[in-house]
Structure 1
């Protein structure tokens, strides 16, 4: 078992034991042997005691993880974060209790469920803080690893990848500092280049780029919709020959970078409008070659730019691949790549992203002009 896995297991056991201890006291309250005010103080004690052990587990994890890398041998001993304070613990307790009253009467089942969630968050908080503080202190990075079945909010934070002190991505620090009740996500230390990130983080980072999201709400919506449609691959096209690259599959305008490998995806999108999420308004595009929701002359999609009627589906497919391999103009910003091809009377724009050294297709369509800032 890896140091990360052992750490994750240790935290989960601590959360469970904290909940078990609190359950014993809650039962005593239900039996009238403990008052709600006494239970309030006990709750704070439990979060403090188990929080201290959780922070120590984080220190042990950092020591073991760093011992496996000789380049980290000179780093100082990790500092342990303090558990949440009494005021924060009782404030959370009061919130859970006060929001569980119906007509002034406490709904014990609702209150208990909320307090269990609060315990999970407060016990884990000093462990997460320990990892974040030491990663920042020692010039390392940290990342949020989502638990199985994590909510869209946590998946969005996990998509931030490796976060470090000098990275000014909006909301990046939230990956290690914002947790909701019942959240069992993990904060790990990693390299600043993210090369040792778990697969889930790399996939989510790619999803963020693919989604085109401009804010958290848009990404959360994308993740939810993506979860509904599933991750099955698109079927191979049968009515059109998907072209292959004439060269070695690397870019001529961005030296050393790969071009998208899934050309079936590129052609299916531009011809038939296939996608992994619904159109605006909630309509899904079937992965069928009878769909007319792409950019052909007879497209039925509202406001879609269209190729001329004289351009056959095969000619469009060939032109998209040609634009990728031999563009007349190109533009790069961040992970995004945009290329254009002026062919006959048509200008074709193709967009893709570079994630962890891999190129992933976004879309392709005809446009009216090429931006002046796009280099030739």
Structure 2
């Protein structure tokens, strides 16, 4: 497996996400200051539903094509047709938008809502692609193994912690596909069908694992217990290796942006 094979899908996901975010940002920027907040919220719901369906479907199709091509490249097995993951429900999208729409009723709250919505649409679009790969892997008779591959210009300590295990994961879910992606995360969970773990340019899980172990020992010493949370270790990774792990790799960076907003009753579901 080559780094360019991973970067090809990542570039597609980033481009789709960026275009979807631009639609949301443009719609909010065009909103008159005197507009009724309830009307703005309802218009945002309709826009988000349309964007999620269109760009989520495109991300799912691109991921299916990528999985099929990579599988064919790395194995001599029979052709395998990937099914697209189900699209996110419009009802779920509406609920998510309502959950973050509260600040529309507060002066200057539009920017706050915009930040939440662009982060939300980024996760929705990329999740459609990741869910398709997850579904493909679960149904694949070849039973691939998985690794979480850091991508982009920088990767937070939480993601690097998950990546430090290399291709030891037996499923996409084990590698973090189950809700372990924060907004604007570019990590890729990729399969491997070979008997040996592939070497990927710029990916050295052994080095990350050594730093993880050092952080774990430091966390045990600081807390005086073996019952550590992921965040205890992540915090130590940032303290011990600040030149490697950017400071945004903390609990708040991993939580959904909408959970950090104060929701007005008029904006809620």
Which of the pair has the greater relative contact order for Cα pairs under 8 Å at 6+ separation? Answer: 2
| Residue deviations 1:219-257 (CA, integer Å, cap 9, x gap) | 2023212332669xxxxxxxxxxxxxxxxxxxxxxxxxx
Q: Point out the structure with the larger strand share.
A: 1
Matched, 1:207 2:211: yes
Alpha carbons 1:132, 1:142 under 8 Å: kept? no
Alpha carbons 1:52, 1:126 under 8 Å: kept? yes
> How far does residue 89 in structure 1 lie from its aligned partner after superposition?
1.6
| CA RMSD after TM alignment | 2.9
Q: How many residues align?
A: 224
1:219 to 230, 233, 237: 233
- TM-score normalised by length of structure 2: 0.72
Matched, 1:26 2:28: yes
> How far does residue 176 in structure 1 lie from its aligned partner after superposition?
5.4
Determine the C-alpha separation between the residues in 2 that align with 1:222 and 1:146: 19
1:95 to 78, 99, 104: 99
Q: What is the 5 A alignment of 1:96-245?
A: 96-98=100-102, 100=103, 104-105=106-107, 107-138=109-140, 139-147=143-151, 148-162=153-167, 163-165=169-171, 172-175=174-177, 177-191=179-193, 195-196=197-198, 198=200, 199-212=203-216, 214-228=228-242
Alpha carbons 2:41, 2:101 under 8 Å: kept? no
| Residue deviations 1:333-363 (CA, integer Å, cap 9, x gap) | xxxxxxxxxxxxxxxxxxxxxxxxxxxxxxx
> How far does residue 96 in structure 1 lie from its aligned partner after superposition?
2.3
Alpha carbons 1:135, 1:142 under 8 Å: kept? no
Matching residue of 2:54: 49
Matching residue of 1:12: 14
Determine the C-alpha separation between the residues in 2 that align with 1:123 and 1:229: 31
Matching residue of 1:81: 85
Q: Which has the larger radius of gyration?
A: 1
Determine the C-alpha separation between the residues in 2 that align with 1:209 and 1:35: 49
> How far does residue 135 in structure 1 lie from its aligned partner after superposition?
1.9
Determine the C-alpha separation between the residues in 1 that align with 2:97 and 2:196: 38
Q: Point out the structure with the larger helix share.
A: 2
Alpha carbons 1:152, 1:223 under 8 Å: kept? yes
> How far does residue 192 in structure 1 lie from its aligned partner after superposition?
7.2
- TM-score normalised by length of structure 1: 0.53
Alpha carbons 1:140, 1:191 under 8 Å: kept? yes
Q: Which consecutive unaligned segments of at least 5 residues does structure 2 have?
A: 218-227, 246-269
Determine the C-alpha separation between the residues in 2 that align with 1:193 and 1:177: 28
* Corresponding residue SS for 2:148: strand
Matching residue of 1:304: none
* Corresponding residue SS for 2:185: coil
> How far does residue 67 in structure 1 lie from its aligned partner after superposition?
2.0
> How far does residue 101 in structure 1 lie from its aligned partner after superposition?
5.7
Alpha carbons 1:160, 1:175 under 8 Å: kept? no
Alpha carbons 2:175, 2:189 under 8 Å: kept? no
Q: Which consecutive unaligned segments of at least 5 residues does structure 1 have?
A: 232-376
Determine the C-alpha separation between the residues in 2 that align with 1:229 and 1:69: 35
